Structure formats: C-alpha cells, structure tokens
Amino acid sequence: MILMPLKHINEYREPQLVQTIVRKIKVNGKKPIRLMEVCGTHTTSIFRHGIRTLLPETLTLLSGPGCPVCVTSQNDIDAFIALARIKNVIITTFGDLMRVPGTTSSLQIERAEGKDIRVVYSAMDALNIARENPAKHIIFLGVGFETTAPTIAASLLIAKETGLKNYYIFSAHKVVPPALEALMQTDGIRIDGFILPGHVSVIIGTSAYRSFFERFQIPCVIAGFEPADLLQAIAVLVRQIQSGAPELANAYSRAVAMQGNPKAKNIMAQVFRPVDTTWRGIGRIPQSGLKIKADFASFDAEQRFEIPISNSKEPPGCLCGEILTGLKIPPQCPLYKKRCTPATPVGACMVSSEGTCAAYYRYADQSLGF
C-alpha cells in the first residue's frame, strides 16, 4: 500500500481544487457517458466522498469487478470450506472471506462448528502459524489481485528457503487486464471509459494495459483514491470521450510508474504461472488467474489435498454477478436490503468491505436516495 504524506491528503481534498475539477467535468460532460471503476477501493472512495453527487446527471459511474473476494468463484469458495473440514488442517485467511456464503456453508459457520480457521493480516502471519504448529497442515487462502500476490509469493519463497514442510497456498489469485478485455466483449455492457485501479497499477505499471488499450481504443485513466484524484481521472476521461481521442493516461503518477514495481513482478513470476480461471459474474477468462508453478508444487494445496466439491451453486436470486459487470446496480436486486444485508449477506458483494452492495448499503441512502 502507498502511504501518502499528510500534506498530500490535505491537498487532494482541498475544496477549491475539487470545485475547479468539477466545473471542467460539467463543461465537457454534456452528453451521456458511462464510466466504470475497476477497483473496489475506488468504489468505496467514490461513495465515501460523495463523488456521484458532484457529477452531472449525464455521467454514470458503474462499479466493476474490482473486489477480489467478490469475483472469487463459488467453486473456489466451496473448495475453501472443504479444505477446512480436513483433519489436522488450520485454515488461514483474510477476514473478508469468512462470511462469504458457499453453496451450503461458510468459513464462519465452519469455525463455529469447531474447525480451526484463523484470520490473519498477511501470509507472513500464516508462515508463523506453520512454524508454531509443525504437526498441523497450514493452508493460506490466496485471494487477491496483483496487489497481494507478490507478498504471498514471497511467503512461498521463504517457506522453500527455510525448509518449511507444512505450509500451503490455495491460489485463487486473479489479474486485472484480461478481465477488462472480457468486459468489453460481454453482451449488454456499454462502457465509454475505464477508471483503472491504483494499487494494482502500482505493481503492474501503466504498460500492462497497453495491449488492451490498443485493441479496444477505449479511454483509460489510472486514478488514485482521494477526491481530487478520482475527479481528475473522470475529467480526463470526459475530455477524451468528448474529443474522440482516446488515450491510456496515468493520473496517479506519484505512485504508478510505466513499468510498475519490477521487484514485485519478479517475485510473482518466480512462483506463479498464468492460467484460465473463472470470475463470478463474468465466467472463464483466458490467462486471468495465477496458479503455483511446478517448482513449488509441494506447497500447492490443490496438489497436496483431495478437495471434494460437488454441485456448487450461486445463491438463488442473488444478482452479484450482474452487479460485478455493471449490468445491474444493487437496488435492482430483489434481495438487496431485504434478505441480503451486511448482517445476513446472501452474496459476496454484500460481504466484502470493497463489495459494491456493501458500499451502496453503507453510503447510498444519504448520497443517492436509494
């Protein structure tokens, strides 16, 4: 994570600067425009700062598949639950996964029934648990984008170097650029421009989107997370759309370089290989997942354990998949705020702190009137 100096936080929330950018957007944004943010943290920031209330009615912001927990397939969620039921296994996971409903259970339910499932803040915490419990199998559930994949890859490098034999990863990691291509080819979705993710781009760099941009010639801007960051990215996109001159632009240059973070990318490349994988709401996307390379097969939970899964099913009536692709918004789901709430989530989009449904539930009542 990039930690911004305090003066930058103040500068990027400065009311006069924000008002100046909003005026530019309103001058240029006179025709209907649909922009998609491809980052769960952007979704939350847009709501928290009331960005939508500042924009002209002609401009629509869509929340895309930017929440890694939300896009994790139901089959993978069920696999996590099945692993937790194996004897002598300790499951370690980020907290957001605990309450995601599987087909018949959840990690939270399994823990309540006595399974050893522990919330950790990093894969390094999971490594320590493995060292402290040599008679147990410790499995870390690797869910995330390019932002978290390097640290999880680093934990495998450490495990191999130190000869740790009881540490495993289930890699459900995903990478963002192929998902953008899939969105552009999904029937019914109209997107005029993309607000590209900030944290992911710190790792992969602007150049990672080049082939996507050249293929589809759609306006793309990498954005930061403060109000002025997001509004500036929107202003740049609106200008590009209005002029008919699409570009791949970087409005977060204080954190994102053209080539990203070479060291982090090298660590990922040592441990992971690209594979086709399934995204909730989108389906199978070529070369959009990361699995563990053969050199590290002894640390691969999918290779080490038999994982009995059958008949994985999406929650009946849940529109999380359509919401992740921008086809629907949460208030259009018949379960939203009825059966599906943060206290009783039906779908993953209501569970994660970066989920669109959770953001709507927390912020939309006061900012959008839903």
**pLDDT the model gives residue 253:** 94
Asked whether residue 67 is domain-assigned, the answer is no
Asked whether residue 59 is domain-assigned, the answer is no
Mean pLDDT of 284-305: 97
93 neighbors 117 (Cβ within 8 angstroms):
yes
Antiparallel, parallel or unpaired: β 137-142 and 89-93: parallel
Mean pLDDT of 133-158: 97
Residue 360 has pLDDT above 50, yes or no: yes
Residue 287 has pLDDT above 60, yes or no: yes
Q: 122 in the Ramachandran plot: left (φ > 0), alpha (ψ -120 to 50) or beta?
A: beta
Residue 299 has pLDDT above 70, yes or no: yes
Residue 369 has pLDDT above 50, yes or no: no
**pLDDT the model gives residue 17:** 87
**pLDDT the model gives residue 367:** 47
Between residues 42 and 308, the one the model is more confident about? 42
Mean pLDDT of 13-19: 85
Task: Tell me the sheet residues that pair with 168.
Answer: 139
> Is the model's pTM score more than 0.85?
yes
In whole angstroms, what is the distance from residue 159 CA to residue 94 CA? 19
Q: 324 in the Ramachandran plot: left (φ > 0), alpha (ψ -120 to 50) or beta?
A: alpha
Residue 107 has pLDDT above 80, yes or no: yes
**In the structure encoding, which two tokens stand for residue 268, read together?**
């990922």
Mean pLDDT of 129-156: 97
Asked whether residue 35 is domain-assigned, the answer is no
Residue 309 has pLDDT above 90, yes or no: no
Asked whether residue 281 is domain-assigned, the answer is yes
Q: Structural domain of residue 166, as residue ranges?
A: 72-175+260-304
Q: 285: closest CA among 111, 39, 125, 73?
A: 73
Asked whether residue 297 is domain-assigned, the answer is yes
In whole angstroms, what is the distance from residue 51 CA to residue 64 CA? 16
**pLDDT the model gives residue 14:** 80
Mean pLDDT of 224-248: 95
**pLDDT the model gives residue 138:** 98
Task: Tell me the sheet residues that pair with 195.
Answer: 37, 221
Asked whether residue 204 is domain-assigned, the answer is no
Where are any strands of DSSP class E within the chain?
33-37, 59-63, 89-93, 117-119, 137-142, 167-171, 173-174, 193-196, 220-222, 248-250, 272-279, 283-292
Q: Average model confidence (pLDDT) for the chain? A: 93
Asked whether residue 135 is domain-assigned, the answer is yes
Mean pLDDT of 286-296: 97
Mean pLDDT of 250-258: 96
In whole angstroms, what is the distance from residue 126 CA to residue 139 CA? 8
**pLDDT the model gives residue 9:** 64
In whole angstroms, what is the distance from residue 275 CA to residue 260 CA? 22
Residue 339 has pLDDT above 70, yes or no: yes
Total residues found in the chain within this entry: 370
Mean pLDDT of 81-110: 96
Asked whether residue 354 is domain-assigned, the answer is no
**pLDDT the model gives residue 6:** 44
Residue 285 maps to which CATH number?
3.40.50.11740
Q: Number of structural domains, the chain?
A: 1
31 neighbors 61 (Cβ within 8 angstroms):
no
In whole angstroms, what is the distance from residue 359 CA to residue 63 CA? 10
In whole angstroms, what is the distance from residue 25 CA to residue 297 CA? 51
Residue 56 has pLDDT above 80, yes or no: yes
